[in-house]
Amino acid sequence: MTFSPELEAKFAKMIQNYPAGRQKGALIPMLLFAQDEVGSMTPELLEEVSKRLKVKRVEIEEVIGYYTMLTREPRGQHHVQICTNVSCMLTGGEELYQHACKKLGIGNKQKTADGQFSLEEVECLGACSWAPAMLIDYDFHFNVTPEKLDGLIESLKKTQ
Amino acid sequence: MLLNEPHPLEVKVLTRRYKYPQQDPIWLEQYVADEGYDAIRKALTMQPEEIIDEVKKSSLRGRGGAGFPTGLKWSFVDRKSPKPKYIVVNGDEGEPGTCKDRIIMGHEPHRLIEGCLVAGRAIGSNRGWVYIRGEYREYIDIMDRAIQEAYDKGYLGDNVLGSGWAFHLSTHTGAGSYECGEESALLESLEGKRGNPRLKPPFPATSGAFQAPTIVNNVETYSAVPEIILKGGEWFAGLGTPRNGGTRLVCLSGHLNRPGVYEVPLGMNMMTLINEVGGGVWKGRKLKAVIPGGSSSPILRADECDIPADYDSLAKAGSMLGSGATVVLDETADIVKVLARLMAFYAHESCGWCIPCREGTTWLKKIMARLDEGVGTKRDIDMVDQLAQGMMGRTFCALGDAAAMPAMSYVRKFREEFEAKIQSAQVFMPAPQTQPLVVL
């Protein structure tokens, strides 16, 4: 399996950041960046990372089961994450999440039929002072209202 | 970017270079033009003990939550150890209510790099990592670019500013786990493992990353160090209250007119913080309660908030300064619902490593869901308190305490709201549908 030249260069540099013989340190960043390119934790991806870092498959499986951002299920082309933790909840985060469910016609960790969007209710995004907050892919959106959410979804639909 | 218009009561130290409303991060050229990297130049002329003494004099306490004295922590590292020594920055920032470290990483990345350099010099380290939560991809990219700039200009590398001392720094991303904000779990994650906490002792200063002596501090803590070296520990200490040196980035959120991240002296009165800096409670409503230091800190009723917001004053009031996150709840806030949401969070984030936390947080979540839905009983209210008492101090790391402390405080301080919710639900609850056991 090969990755894009940019990602290959990133990985080559990344491995040097850990002490000799301790390259397993690069495992979590490598999985996350590879997932962003491949879409999910495919068997081929795991095999490739296992080979590169000389770690057993079971060690990778342990890590995937633990970190919420690593997923075996392919997400939509755009992954919408809405925070409903305390600061967001106090300022309308739960209503925003319910609105997103209706707007997209899906529930938590589901994907639209056309594969364009997936939705996830997430824990604190670290954007509490600008709540309610959400992430679409890796882009933060602050002080989000249902109307603003609608606008973002529609503009992404148009760019497909 | 995210910083608010400056407030007259702010004291800008860590955010002093930021010129509102600057859009781009402060890159190397702008940083260097305003005393940037002067602190590491000065530190290179000092003995490691002198650097640590200066940090001790500053009364700088860990800004991640625990509030441990930073200089003392650094002094625990055995510089004569033949093992390499490491610097680790905790940029995981997952405590609900907390959003301050992103301000530093996103606006002034070189300040953090310089803080790491000074810390590295103090403990004789040649390598550091900035651990950043995976959701903060934008800030990982900004830190990476700033680190590359520092390498290109000789502030990082094999020969820092021609001193012959090598110091290397890189970012390391998490992938979604609140538990990785706990320093030993963070180190496990840095080594490519699940973020389960380690048994302490040994503490990281003795055996940390890759079993080598390591100091782990929060982004804000390292970022205060350049100013301490430049202007002196006593100057920094003088900005706060005794034993609570310096300024603090506070994240104001919740029911406020002007939420945001502000830099204020440690010890500013909490009501001043809410009413002046934060613009007061929104919609003309009254204050009901404050979560003063992130979701794990015990809640304060409105009548308990006329106190200085520093480590010691809040501890005396039965709460904690924690991460400096101040969440304001107005008179309409549903306390039961807030606690139910928080217990769901802690149950989700428990790593499952130890039974009191794994089972306790899940149990608390279930009871609180019952109470919030109006199908709980008065016995459930007592059970929340008893269960939290049973968890307190008996879990492998502080996550169990982080769940137990708010649980106990909410129930004890707002018991009438829990009881009222049960009673109001009973009034409107339809009679249960019953089926005969035997259909004839």
Query: What's the confidence (pLDDT) of residue B263?
Result: 95
Domain with CATH 3.40.30.10 in chain A: 78-158
User: What pLDDT sits at residue B321?
Assistant: 87
User: Is residue B7 in a domain?
Assistant: no
- The whole-angstrom separation of Cα B156 and Cα B170 is 10
Per the CB < 8 A criterion, the answer to whether B210 and A17 are in contact is no
CATH 1.10.10 fits A5-66, yes or no: yes
Phi/psi for B262 (5° steps) reads -130, 150
B197: tokens are 């906490």
Q: Does A21 touch chain B (CB under 8 A)?
A: no
Computed on alpha carbons and rounded to an integer, the radius of gyration of chain A in Å comes to: 18
- Residue labelled with tokens 């994450």: A81
Instruction: Write out pLDDT tens, residues B103-118.
Output: 999 999 999 999 999 9
pLDDT at position B67 is 85
Which chain A positions have a beta carbon within 8 Å of B342's beta carbon? 85-86
Global pTM reads 0.95
Share of chain A above pLDDT 90, in %: 97
Same domain, B423 and B352: yes
Number of Cβ within 10 Å of residue B388's Cβ equals: 26
Residue range of the domain that includes B319: 247-330
Q: Give me the DSSP letters along chain A.
A: ----HHHHHHHHHHHTTS-TT-GGGGHHHHHHHHHHHHSS--HHHHHHHHHHHT--HHHHHHHHHH-TT--SS---SEEEEEE-SHHHHHTTHHHHHHHHHHHHT--TTEE-TTSSEEEEEES--S-GGG-S-EEETTEEE-S--HHHHHHHHHHHHHT-
Give the pLDDT of residue A49.
Answer: 97
B301: CATH: 3.10.20.600
B203 and B226 share one domain: yes
Residues B87 and B48 occupy one common structural domain: yes
On whether both B359 and B386 belong to a single domain, the answer is: yes
CATH code linked to domain A78-158: 3.40.30.10
The answer as to whether B262 is a domain residue is: yes
pLDDT at B429: 60
- Residues B210, B147: one domain? yes
Three-state DSSP class for B214? strand
Residues with pLDDT less than 70, chain B: 1, 425-440
Measured in angstroms, the CA of B57 and the nearest CA of chain A are apart by 32
B136 neighbourhood in chain A, CB within 8 Å? 126
**Structure confidence by residue, pLDDT tens digits, B320-358:** 988 889 999 999 999 999 999 999 999 999 999 999 999
The per-residue pLDDT for B427 is: 61
DSSP H or E run through B130? strand B127-132
What angle, 0 to 180 degrees and rounded to 10, lies between the N-to-C axes of helices B399-413 and B378-391? 140
The verdict on B222 and B322 lying in the same domain is: no
**Residue intervals in chain A for CATH 1.10.10:** 5-66
* Residues in CB range of A94: below 8 A, 6 or more apart: A84
CA nearest to A30 within chain B: B173
**DSSP code at position B231:** H
Cα distance between residue A130 and residue A127, in whole Å: 6
- Determine whether the interchain pair B345/A124 forms a contact, defined as Cβ–Cβ distance below 8 Å: yes
Q: What pLDDT was estimated at residue B47? A: 96
Write down the pLDDT at residue B440: 55
Tell me whether residue B9 is in a domain. no
| Co-location of B125 and B58 in the same domain | yes
ipTM of the complex: 0.97
Task: Identify the CATH number of the domain in which residue B132 sits.
Answer: 3.40.50.11540
* pLDDT for position B438: 67
Q: Which pLDDT does position A140 carry in this prediction? A: 96
Per the structure, how many domains does chain B have? Answer: 3
Q: How far apart are CA A37 and CA B47, in angstroms?
A: 47
